[in-house]
Amino acid sequence: MKDILMMILSDCPYCHSADRMIAQLTAENPAYESLTIKRVDEAVEAEFADSLDYYYVPTFYVDGEKLLEGVPTLEKVRAVLDRALEA
């Protein structure tokens, strides 16, 4: 299992949408409950955010690999969670 890094902005509607999708997918698949998702607000941790290669939030990284950037969909968020479950 790998940790997920989620770059966000606190007032981003797409970030809030992604959080709702994560909650929905976790309700459907309890295995996702074991995942660790580190949410980093780029406005709060600007120096760290600047060290990463992305332009839009939310952006999801698993094991250092960018898997999703920008407008989330249920299938794309599921793919991120599934990748994090892989050993």
State the Cα–Cα distance between residues 44 and 27, nearest whole angstrom.
Answer: 30
Can you give the pTM of this predicted structure?
0.94
Residue 87, pLDDT above cutoff 90:
no
Tell me, what's the pLDDT at 1? 86
- Would you say 34 and 1 are in contact if contact means Cβ atoms under 8 Å apart? yes
CATH number at residue 77: 3.40.30.10
- If you ran DSSP here, which 8-state letter would residue 54 be given? -
Please count the structural domains in the chain: 1
Return the DSSP state at 58: S
Q: Can you name the residues that pair with 6 across neighbouring β-strands? A: 39, 60
Crossing angle of helices 74-85 and 13-28, rounded to 10°: 60
- pLDDT over 60 at 52, yes or no: yes
**pLDDT over 70, % of the chain:** 99
Q: Is the pLDDT of residue 5 over 90?
A: yes
Structural domain for 41, as ranges? 4-85
Tens-place pLDDT, residues 26-43: 999 999 999 999 999 999
More confident residue, 87 or 5: 5
